[in-house]
Amino acid sequence: MDIFGILHSTIRLASPIILISIGGLFSLKVDIFNLGLEAFALMGCFSAVAATYLTKNLLLGSTIGVVVCVIYGLIYSFFVIKMKVNAVICAVAFITLTSGLTRYLMQPIFGTSGKFILDRSFALKPIDLGIFSENNLIGLILNNHTILVYVSIVLPFITHIFLNYTKYGLYIRSIGLNQVAANAAGINVDLWKYLASMASGFFCGLAGIQLAMSMNLFNVEMTAGRGFTALAVLIMTGAQPIPTFFAALLFGFADSISNVLSSGGYQPQFLAMLPYGLALMAVVLPKVFRLIGEKRKRKLSFIRILNREGGE
Amino acid sequence: MRIRMKDAISHKINIALSSLTNPVFAIVTAFIMGGVIVALTGGNPFQAYRVLLTGAFGSFSSLSRTIRFTLPIIMLGFSFGISERSGYFNIGQEGQMYAGAMAIVFVQYIFGDTPRIVLIILMACAGILASGLISYVPALLKLKLSTDEVIVSMLLNYIMVLLSKYLLLYSPIAELGKSTALSIEVEPGISGQVIFIFAFSIIIIYMITYKSSTWGYQLRLIGKNKDFAELSGINVGKFMLIIAFIAGAFSGISVFGEVLGVYHRVYNGFASNLGFYGMTAALIGGDSVFGLIAGALILGALQSGSISLATMTNTQSEIVLVVQGFVMLFSTIKIFKHFSCFDKKKELKKKR
């Protein structure tokens, strides 16, 4: 087993999760629970592949894919904010709708069903970074990735700076903390909610492009629960960008390990469960630790009270 | 005084109208949107819908097929409806169904030699228990650790799908000599009529329990106002756990009918998307059981009609999923409320 290969594919596989979870972070920050990330990313995959196929141009196709996702985010937030639809129901509706639309539209657009492979020349090419290309540790892990992988590595840090050190970041955080107060402070709450939701769609679109175009194919249900995984990551890290980045790397590592092991003859079903099981742990374990911590604290304070009474 | 009476009456009419307008609006809009998509992709929406309609209700065999698709959706709708009212959002029905199906096949494998009646009862118990337990876990986690049950049950869905795929490929319940994921044959079949009577009696029991029993009353109370229910002496958390188990049990009943009545085998992906059908039916129905049954009938008809869609027209049967998604999206919009809001705004403007 080649450890550098595993780490290389860790970063490659983590990048869609990072992008999706940064997208979800924006909508969580403005208090919209976005279970529909899965649907957004799937739509991103499909629209990018379809637009590239129709326009015969990767850049134009990818732009259209992202625009479609941004519009998707806008529609989602319109239903949640203006129409007062329950966010979870709206998200499940979007998931069903997207699953149906992508399956249905494959026949009219591509003329096949199930799986469509684009011409290889349209694939997102890995970039050879000159400085790292020597045969050293950084070069082996970080070189030869697509542009979106590099974007996804930088993005959490930019998001961190944006949220914590700019005026607009403050607006978004304040809406998440207390909408009424934000409104009273003169922030247009609905506008920022729409914008954050569009940002959510934008990053999910990028994730979709990375997923689909790096392999130049579209597959039915190709996001395979990455949206839910990203949401689990966000719940675990409390929607902070930099911890989210590292947690997503962990999931990329799990994906990569399960890929390697399944080619090594282990049961692929159990290995495929690994990311989901990890996500489940990510949701449950922090709460367990918190519960234990609280219990211990209570016990300690109880003992302290007993001691004090004994001392008197 | 008179004005108050008038207000009360108009309020009641408002409620009755809105409970009818919402689902009708949702379904009509969804069909229009679906039609637009069919037309945009070069199909003929009127022809497609005519084929759907005749495919669902055209003949006796298609009608019975529609009922066959409707019954599990009703059960899943109950499953979603009661759990939603108790404050537990049950979207893990797909995983619950796989768990139930696995349990049923395991009973066939272990107790295959016992008499037919005993075997059927054992299978029902096993299926209900397994589905109920899978539904119980997220509820327990929600109560004890306040985790989000939606994300937990979605992740459990994926895990259950993969687990059942593994079991159907490599465990003793897998059919020998097959490379695809397929179970051994479940021998005791039940005829359609028996299943229909069985389901019908469950619907009746459900309606009676829901409308006129202490449990049903408590459930409705929690659904309307959780804090009031807590204050009036209902242990809401414990109630939610019980309801979560019962909700899973309904999924188990639906899978029991599916496996013993229709498929007689379990294959991988037999319940994909079926869980969301139940949710859609419950959303169409809202508070009323008849609404839920009507919603399930529409969805069942869509499924049943879609079988002949791809062969009779150039429209893909996946359009059914699209229509279902639109129904879900529009079904919880209080359209009547929005319109009455507009009216009030107009009145205000007139007064000014």
Tell me the sheet residues that pair with B68: none
How close is the nearest chain B Cα to the Cα of A274, in Å? Answer: 9
- Contact of A84 with chain B, judged by CB distance below 8 Å, is answered with yes
The partner residue sitting opposite B141, judged by closest CB among A86, A99, A284, is A284
Q: What pLDDT score was predicted for residue B234?
A: 83
Instruction: Answer whether residue A67 shows pLDDT above 90.
Output: yes
Q: What pLDDT score was predicted for residue A202?
A: 92
CB-based contact A272 B162, cutoff 8 Å = yes
Q: What pLDDT score was predicted for residue A36?
A: 85
CB-based contact A35 B316, cutoff 8 Å = no
Q: What pLDDT score was predicted for residue B18?
A: 65
Query: Rounded to a whole number, what is the largest CA-CA distance in chain A?
Result: 86
Interface of A with B in 165-204 (CB under 8 A): none
Three-state SS string across chain B, please?
CHHHHHHHHHHHHHHHHHHHHHHHHHHHHHHHHHHHHHHHCCCCHHHHHHHHHHHHHCCHHHHHHHHHHHHHHHHHHHHHHHHHHCCCCCCCHHHHHHHHHHHHHHHHHHCCCCCHHHHHHHHHHHHHHHHHHHHHHHHHHHHHHCCCHHHHHHHHHHHHHHHHHHHHHHCCCECCCCCCCEECCCCCCCCHHHHHHHHHHHHHHHHHHHHHCHHHHHHHHHHHCHHHHHHCCCCHHHHHHHHHHHHHHHHHHHHHHHHHHHHCCCECCCCCCHHHHHHHHHHHHCCCHHHHHHHHHHHHHHHHHHHHHHHHCCCCCCHHHHHHHHHHHHHCCCHHHHHHHHHHHHHHHHHC
Tell me the sheet residues that pair with A117: A217
Q: What pLDDT score was predicted for residue B209?
A: 86
pLDDT tens per residue, range A248-262: 888 888 888 888 887
Instruction: Answer whether residue A114 shows pLDDT above 80.
Output: no
**Distance separating alpha carbons of residues B161 and B179, to the nearest angstrom:** 17
Find chain B residues with C-beta within 8 A of A228's C-beta.
151, 154-155, 158
Domain range summary for chain B, segments of one domain joined by +: 74-272
8 A C-beta contact, residue B127 and residue A264: no
Residue A38: closest CA among chain B residues belongs to which residue? B154
For chain B, the average pLDDT equals 82
> How large is the average pLDDT for residues A117-140?
71
Q: How confident is the model at residue B339 (pLDDT cuts 50, 70, 90)?
A: low
> How large is the average pLDDT for residues A178-192?
85
> How large is the average pLDDT for residues A30-34?
84
Q: What pLDDT score was predicted for residue B341?
A: 52
Helix residue ranges per DSSP H, A166-266: 167-177, 179-184, 189-213, 226-237, 241-263
> How large is the average pLDDT for residues A111-128?
77
Q: What pLDDT score was predicted for residue B183?
A: 72
Q: Provide the CA A45 distance to its chain's centre, in angstroms.
A: 13
Q: How many CB atoms lie within 10 A of CB A168?
A: 12
Instruction: Answer whether residue B14 shows pLDDT above 80.
Output: no
Q: What pLDDT score was predicted for residue A71?
A: 92
Q: Report how far apart, in Å, the C-alpha atoms of B285 and of each of A195, B73, B206, B253 are.
A: 34, 12, 15, 20
Q: Name the token pair of A284.
A: 């449950």
- At A192 the three-state DSSP class reads helix
How close is the nearest chain A Cα to the Cα of B220, in Å? Answer: 19
Find chain A residues with C-beta within 8 A of B338's C-beta.
83
Find chain B residues with C-beta within 8 A of A113's C-beta.
316
CB pairs < 8 Å spanning A and B: 131
Q: What pLDDT score was predicted for residue A110?
A: 80
Q: What pLDDT score was predicted for residue B264?
A: 79
Residue A81: closest CA among chain B residues belongs to which residue? B333
Instruction: Answer whether residue B50 shows pLDDT above 90.
Output: no
- Contact of A273 with chain B, judged by CB distance below 8 Å, is answered with yes
B interface mutation test: which of A84, A96, A251, A283 has the most B CBs within 10 A? A96
Q: What pLDDT score was predicted for residue A187?
A: 84
> How large is the average pLDDT for residues B3-24?
73
Amino acid, single-letter form, for residue B307: I
Interface confidence: ipTM more than 0.90: no
> How large is the average pLDDT for residues A165-187?
86
CB-based contact A232 B155, cutoff 8 Å = yes
pLDDT tens per residue, range B286-328: 777 888 888 888 888 888 888 777 777 777 778 888 888 888 8
How close is the nearest chain A Cα to the Cα of B42, in Å? Answer: 8
Instruction: Answer whether residue A140 shows pLDDT above 60.
Output: yes
- Contact of A10 with chain B, judged by CB distance below 8 Å, is answered with no
pLDDT tens per residue, range B64-77: 888 888 888 888 88
Instruction: Answer whether residue B342 shows pLDDT above 80.
Output: no
Query: What residue ranges define each of the domains in chain A, with the CATH number in brackets?
Result: 3-311 (1.10.3470)
Q: What pLDDT score was predicted for residue B351?
A: 60
Q: What pLDDT score was predicted for residue A306?
A: 78
pLDDT tens per residue, range B99-152: 998 898 888 888 878 888 888 888 889 989 999 999 898 888 888 888 888 888
Find chain B residues with C-beta within 8 A of A87's C-beta.
none
Q: How confident is the model at residue B196 (pLDDT cuts 50, 70, 90)?
A: confident
How close is the nearest chain B Cα to the Cα of A104, in Å? Answer: 5
Find chain A residues with C-beta within 8 A of B169's C-beta.
269
- Contact of A111 with chain B, judged by CB distance below 8 Å, is answered with no
For chain A, the average pLDDT equals 84
How close is the nearest chain B Cα to the Cα of A262, in Å? Answer: 13
